[in-house]
């Protein structure tokens, strides 16, 4: 038995939410560039794939059915002790938590976060396993608020699960695999993900095209209004999805899966002699894999309505509470208030040095020069950092003590505080960031 300071250690219950790893090259590199070893589990992340030690007595792992695994490769549990993995509807942070209130127009209150369902279930599992957590009936104040579950979310969850159960039975019946087994008896992770993705694809199919207001139809679902940046992100990825469906749909529908690659290559424009961008290579490489061929052909059938779900009970949970993780996934550009503040400071300094700005950067600096004279909070926040950096520069011509003192002072006060970040974010300096604006 493991020991800590001479005392035996035993872990009676290990509760895990959506364990993923993207250390080194993620799974997207394997799909896009054909690198078989790329799966996100490099360096220390390789350790998490090992069997858990015998000191762990019970494990519960909650998995997201709808996450884009190219970005967040899943780490399944390996353990000799009793362990359970449960597949939940939602994206990575819809299960493990992390989405802010009102993000993408969803969940304006704590009780409306989709992750509350997994939180409550894990709390119950931990108590059953003997973890001395507080009984929900005895919770008060802020703690009770943290564990709240909105009644509309609960109803939407039940609608979704009833639809999933009905669709699961219908699919088994259509395949003629014998007496249909209920959904709760399904023990196949791949089968469960496929079931949940079928409901998700069906929802996206119904809301993929533009509505009369030139907005995707799923804007009818959120309770709150997404901000301009979120609308741009979701609209742009909705357009990409529509393009993918149309491109795959242009292939002859009667071709078997193993002929999809040849048909796609015949229709694809010739690549330039230089190394192609990964996005140009990803689809052909995926079509080389039989598993990907079958999945894409199946998904295309759902998106084209050939495998339509009988019912719409899943619409409420997906449309009102589930986020679009792909639209919210940034490789480049700023995403938080803190990053906006640091970006603004860097661009103002870049302009002062006479360095060239791209169109988006120039727009940010122009907006700052226009807004800062009448926005004292923004002007003071930026100018203070510039002055402090100048003090460090000037101290270099004095003595070492002055240099160290100036650097110590900047380390203490150089970080933008909450009020400064809010003032900069709400000033209107930053225009909506589009995919082409992020400097690679």
Which of 31-45, 102-116, 264-278 is predicted with the least confidence, judged by mean pLDDT?
A: 264-278
Which of 64-68, 351-355, 411-415 is predicted with the least confidence, judged by mean pLDDT?
A: 411-415
By DSSP bridging, strand 14-17 and strand 83-88 are unpaired
pLDDT digits (tens, 9 = 90+) for 239-295: 888 888 888 888 644 445 455 445 544 544 444 444 344 444 455 555 556 667 888
**What value does the mean pLDDT take over residues 78-102?**
92
Q: Is the dihedral of CA 106, 112, 114, 119 positive or negative?
A: positive
**What value does the mean pLDDT take over residues 95-104?**
89
**pLDDT of residue 198 exceeding 90:** yes
Percent of the chain past pLDDT 90, that is, above it, reads 38
Whole-angstrom Cα distance, residue 216 to residue 239?
A: 9
Q: Where are the beta strands (DSSP E) in 319-419?
A: none
How does residue 43 score in pLDDT terms, banded at 50, 70 and 90? low
Residue 149 tokens read as: 């579950």
Q: Which residues on adjacent β-strands are paired with residue 64? A: 88
Quick one: which of 257, 262, 266 has its CA closest to 290? 257
Give, as one character, the DSSP assignment of residue 90.
S
Contact (CB, 8 A) for 62 and 121: yes
pLDDT of residue 90: 97
Q: What is the pTM for the complete model shown? A: 0.78
Average confidence score pLDDT of the chain = 81
pLDDT digits (tens, 9 = 90+) for 380-413: 999 988 988 887 777 666 666 766 776 777 676 6
Whole-angstrom Cα distance, residue 377 to residue 396?
A: 29
Whole-angstrom Cα distance, residue 200 to residue 90?
A: 9
Q: Where are the beta strands (DSSP E) in 152-304?
A: none
pLDDT digits (tens, 9 = 90+) for 136-193: 889 888 888 899 999 999 999 999 999 999 988 887 777 665 556 677 777 788 889 9
How does residue 415 score in pLDDT terms, banded at 50, 70 and 90? confident
Alpha carbon distances (Å) from 167 to 85, 161, 182, 302, 393: 22, 10, 10, 13, 67
Whole-angstrom Cα distance, residue 318 to residue 325?
A: 12
**pLDDT of residue 111 exceeding 80:** yes
pLDDT digits (tens, 9 = 90+) for 199-253: 999 999 888 865 544 555 555 667 677 788 888 888 888 888 888 888 888 864 4
Percent helix, strand, coil in the chain, to 5, is 55, 5, 40
Whole-angstrom Cα distance, residue 356 to residue 90?
A: 43
Tokens 């529509």: give the residue. Answer: 242
Q: Is the dihedral of CA 367, 368, 369, 374 positive or negative?
A: positive
pLDDT of residue 261: 47
| Residue 24 three-state SS | coil
Whole-angstrom Cα distance, residue 233 to residue 311?
A: 29
Quick one: which of 133, 39, 40, 124 has its CA closest to 84? 124
Alpha carbon distances (Å) from 353 to 78, 341, 350, 358: 55, 19, 5, 15
Whole-angstrom Cα distance, residue 430 to residue 135?
A: 46
**What value does the mean pLDDT take over residues 373-382?**
95
CA 33 to chain centre: 22
């Amino acid at each position: 038995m493991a020991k800590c300071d001479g005392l035996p250690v035993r872990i009676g219950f290990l509760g895990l939410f959506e364990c993923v790893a993207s250390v080194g090259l993620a799974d997207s590199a394997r799909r896009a560039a054909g690198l078989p070893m790329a799966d996100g589990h490099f360096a220390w992340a390789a350790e998490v794939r090992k069997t858990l030690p015998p000191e762990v007595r019970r494990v519960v792992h909650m998995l997201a059915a709808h996450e884009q695994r190219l970005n967040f490769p899943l780490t399944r549990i390996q353990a000799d002790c009793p362990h359970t993995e449960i597949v939940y509807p939602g994206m990575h942070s819809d299960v493990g938590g992390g989405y802010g209130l009102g993000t993408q127009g969803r969940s304006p209150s704590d009780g409306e976060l989709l992750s509350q369902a997994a939180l409550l279930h894990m709390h119950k599992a931990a108590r059953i396993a003997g973890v001395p957590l507080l009984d929900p009936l005895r919770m008060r104040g802020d703690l009770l608020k943290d564990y709240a579950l909105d009644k509309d979310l609960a109803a939407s969850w039940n609608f979704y699960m009833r639809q999933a159960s009905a669709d699961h039975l219908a699919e088994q019946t259509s395949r003629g695999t014998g007496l249909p087994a209920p959904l709760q008896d399904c023990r196949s992770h791949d089968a469960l993900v496929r079931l949940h993705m079928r409901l998700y694809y069906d929802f996206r199919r119904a809301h993929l095209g533009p509505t009369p207001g030139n907005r995707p139809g799923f804007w009818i679902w959120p309770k709150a209004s997404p901000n301009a940046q979120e609308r741009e992100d979701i609209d742009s990825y909705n357009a990409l999805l529509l393009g993918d469906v149309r491109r795959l749909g242009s292939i002859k529908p009667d071709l078997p899966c193993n002929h999809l690659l040849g048909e796609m290559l015949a229709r694809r424009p010739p690549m330039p002699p230089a190394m192609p961008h990964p996005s140009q290579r990803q689809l052909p490489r995926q079509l080389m894999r039989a598993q990907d061929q079958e999945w894409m052909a199946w998904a295309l059938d759902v998106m084209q309505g050939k495998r339509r779900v009988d019912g719409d009970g899943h619409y409420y949970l997906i449309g009102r509470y589930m986020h679009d993780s792909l639209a919210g996934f940034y490789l480049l550009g700023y995403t938080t208030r803190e990053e906006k503040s640091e970006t603004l400071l860097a661009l103002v300094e870049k302009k002062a040095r006479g360095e060239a700005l791209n169109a988006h950067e120039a727009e940010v600096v122009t907006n700052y020069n226009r807004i800062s004279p009448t926005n004292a909070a923004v002007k003071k926040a930026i100018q203070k950092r510039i002055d402090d950096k100048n003090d460090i520069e000037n101290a270099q011509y004095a003595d070492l003590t002055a240099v160290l003192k100036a650097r110590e002072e900047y380390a203490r006060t150089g970080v933008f505080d909450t009020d400064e970040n809010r003032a900069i974010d709400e000033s209107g300096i930053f225009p909506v960031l589009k995919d082409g604006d992020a400097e690679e």
